[in-house]
Amino acid sequence: MQYKLYGLPHSYYSGKARSYLRLQGIDYAEHSPAHPAYRERILPAIQRSIIPVLETPEGEIIQDTVDIIGHFEARGVRYPAYPGTPLRFIVAMLIEYYGSQAMLKHAMHYRWSYLAEQERFLQHAFANSAAMLRMQSYLPRLGVTEKSIPEIEASFHALLVILNVHFQLHPYLLGQRPTIADYGLFGPMYAHLGRDPVPANIVKQQAPAVFRWLERMQAPNLDTVEYHSAGSSDDDMLPQTLEPLLQHIANDIFPELTDKLAALEAHAAAQQPEDGAPVSDKPHRRQITVITTRFRRAEIEVGVEPYLLYLLQPASDRFKALPDAEKHTIQQYLDRFGLMPALPLQQSLRVDRQHNIEVWRKP
């Protein structure tokens, strides 16, 4: 009567789910998607080839790291991933978005642009070259091009400097306990940037405290031997060393995120989808349109995924529900970094998940 996680060692989102399961002490076994059960039970239920997927002891099948984590949070865990207080909650959600979506650029670039150096490693990980080619085909629509690659690398190096300072003082992003911010950032930082030879060496050589955090995030306990600070605090404070990270995130995600939110609004106005309608015509199609925008100084053309609303809505929901005085405090904090537009406060449609795919929802 164990949980089963269908995932792979080199997969971005499998790492996010696995790290959570381990730390919470959940009894699970991991299977690769090549396991016969994946074809027999999982594929018919989720209608697309994607990992990770959780199968519960009761036979429930859950795709998507947000919903997998949500399943356990609802039942109660050792170390809840979602902070209780509003500022910490909202900031954690923004960092999760950064790790889960914005860092696809960094992860996919370092995985696929250094093929000569990494070929043996990648061929060992990927059982077949068709899967390798499919992954590489995603690069341009994620905004990874010759023009943006220098910006992506500069962003990665800047990120490591910031995180290395932070993790010398704090074991986790928000302080003493891991939160959804850590799980979100761990996806790219582990599977791609922390394992593939070229970026993993950069992490070890330039940011040893970040490498230690990667180890910590794989431990079955709070692996915090080198920190002496006591317990966790319940007030709505954030470590000061997180501030450069929030500025870095704002520099990376805008104007792209604002442009994506506008494109989703335009799509809603033009298509007027029914409540509950799938966001795309096929379950495997994640992007519904392509826009021209910028990553730092590089012009890019990227696909727009409605899924981003699913990640960011909880932050704007939490904000909207606050009394004015608290709204003001949080807005002041986020405005310091220009992060306020990351809250999708004006969207006329929401994204929900039904039977493991994204659907439109009228508020």
For ligand GSH, the binding residues (CB under 6 A) are: 11-14, 50-52, 64-65, 134, 307
Which residue lies nearer to ligand GSH by CB, 64 or 196? 64
Residue 203 CB neighbours (<10 A) = 21
Residue 133 CB neighbours (<10 A) = 10
Which residue lies nearer to ligand GSH by CB, 11 or 293? 11
The DSSP result for 302-359, as a single string, is EEE-THHHHHHHHHHHHHHTS-HHHHHHHHHHHHTTT-GGGS--S-SSEEEEETTEEE
Q: Least distance to ligand GSH from the beta carbon of 279, Å? A: 12
The three-class DSSP label of residue 39 is helix
Q: Least distance to ligand GSH from the beta carbon of 286, Å? A: 8
Q: Least distance to ligand GSH from the beta carbon of 138, Å? A: 7
Residue 135 burial (10 A CB sphere; 0-12, 13-18, 19+): middle
The three-class DSSP label of residue 70 is helix
Burial 270-284, CB ≥16 within 10 A → b, else e: eeebeeeebbeeebe
Which residues lie across from 358 on neighbouring strands? 353
Q: Least distance to ligand GSH from the beta carbon of 272, Å? A: 25
CB 98 within 8 A of CB 250: no
Which residue lies nearer to ligand GSH by CB, 51 or 246? 51
Q: Least distance to ligand GSH from the beta carbon of 150, Å? A: 25
Q: Which two tokens stand for residue 275?
A: 């409540």
Which residue lies nearer to ligand GSH by CB, 31 or 166? 31
Q: Which two tokens stand for residue 210?
A: 């970040």
Which residue lies nearer to ligand GSH by CB, 18 or 212? 18
Alpha-helical runs (H) found in the chain: 12-23, 36-37, 43-46, 65-75, 86-97, 104-112, 115-125, 129-137, 149-169, 180-191, 197-206, 208-216, 243-253, 256-271, 307-320, 324-335
Which residue lies nearer to ligand GSH by CB, 51 or 160? 51
Q: Least distance to ligand GSH from the beta carbon of 166, Å? A: 24
DSSP 242: G
Q: Least distance to ligand GSH from the beta carbon of 67, Å? A: 8
Which residue lies nearer to ligand GSH by CB, 49 or 145? 49
Q: Least distance to ligand GSH from the beta carbon of 46, Å? A: 10
Residue 126 CB neighbours (<10 A) = 16
Which residue lies nearer to ligand GSH by CB, 55 or 64? 64
